[in-house]
Amino acid sequence: MSDLPYDRENFCYRHPDRQSFILCQRCGKTICPACQTQASVGVHCPDCVKAARQAAPKQRPAAVRAQRAWRTRTDRPYLTFAIIALCIVIYAAQFFGGAAVTNQLVFYAPFTAERPWTVLTSMFAHGSPIHLLLNMYSLYVLGSILESPLGRARYAALYLLSGLGGSVAVILLSPTTPVLGASGAIFGLLAALFVIQRSLGGNTTQLVIVLVMNLAIGFLLPGISWQAHVGGLVAGAAVAFVILRTRDARKPRRQALMIAGVGVILVVVAALGLSAY
């Protein structure tokens, strides 16, 4: 075996007395085994490892703990199951009772004074089996994620106020369009999930794609109230923002009052919109 000729480039840049023929995959410097950090491809030198760590986005410890707490919730979404069951029962009543039942549930802005309950009942009624199936599947997915971390009272408020927000948007933007379905409330849940994920430092790219695609469908396909979707989106985001800003366990009354305040604002806006005609 012949000896390799001496070349100072074949010695570790941090330890000149240690010969090596391994190069950093990123910068090409010679590094000895003590200075090598295994990478997905090849090895990196200490300087490149340090630079990569400094360039990587950092999360606050509180945000990391919040994400872990959020992901480890395992309670079953019983309220979501109850809402789904209620929607199925109501649709069965619509199916067997016909238009007489549906007319008492559908929201139609000009009849709000005579049938004020339809502002809320419309979010539990549906126009077809496919309409019901799609909405209930979406509700199950989102409810399974949101109900346990929020708690049932806050989750119920989020759902109802999002649905109310959908009705208010219809009053303002398309008052002569009759609407029914849980879509407005479901868009509110989507918006709330986005706001919460964003606040906790989670990746929201997929949520944005889902929101944009579903909003686009509302604009492109006939028979879908995009106004209710937008209204639910805004109301759900507002409720989630309030919940995040009032998380102090010592001030539950403040949170309840602020969530109720969102409801009051929606009612006032609806009244102003109805007074215009």
User: What digits encode the pLDDT tens for the residues 144-162?
Assistant: 989 988 889 999 999 999 9
pLDDT band at 252 (very low <50, low <70, confident <90, very high): confident
Q: Which amino acid is at 266?
A: L
Question: Are 28 and 100 members of one domain?
Answer: no
Question: Are 102 and 228 members of one domain?
Answer: yes
Question: Are 128 and 195 members of one domain?
Answer: yes
Task: Please state, in angstroms and rounded to a whole number, the distance separating the CA atoms of residues 13 and 22.
Answer: 11
C-alpha atoms less than 13 angstroms from C-alpha of 151 in its C-beta half-sphere: 9
The answer to whether residue 60 is domain-embedded is no
Question: Are 34 and 110 members of one domain?
Answer: no
Task: Please state, in angstroms and rounded to a whole number, the distance separating the CA atoms of residues 143 and 36.
Answer: 47
The answer to whether residue 226 is domain-embedded is yes
The answer to whether residue 68 is domain-embedded is no
Q: Which of the 8 DSSP states describes residue 41? A: S
Task: Please state, in angstroms and rounded to a whole number, the distance separating the CA atoms of residues 173 and 69.
Answer: 40
Interacting residues of 34 by C-beta distance below 8 A, sequence separation 6+:
12, 15, 18
Kindly tell me if the per-residue pLDDT of 173 is higher than 80.
yes
Q: In CATH, what number is assigned to the domain containing residue 201?
A: 1.20.1540.10
Query: Residue for token digits 């759900």?
Result: 236
Domain count, the chain: 2
Q: What distance separates the 2 farthest-apart alpha carbons in the chain?
A: 101
* pLDDT given for residue 4 in this prediction: 41
* pLDDT given for residue 32 in this prediction: 85
pTM (whole model) above 0.75: no
Kindly tell me if the per-residue pLDDT of 197 is higher than 90.
no
Boundaries of domain holding 192: 82-274
Taking residues 117-140, report their average pLDDT.
92
The answer to whether residue 39 is domain-embedded is yes
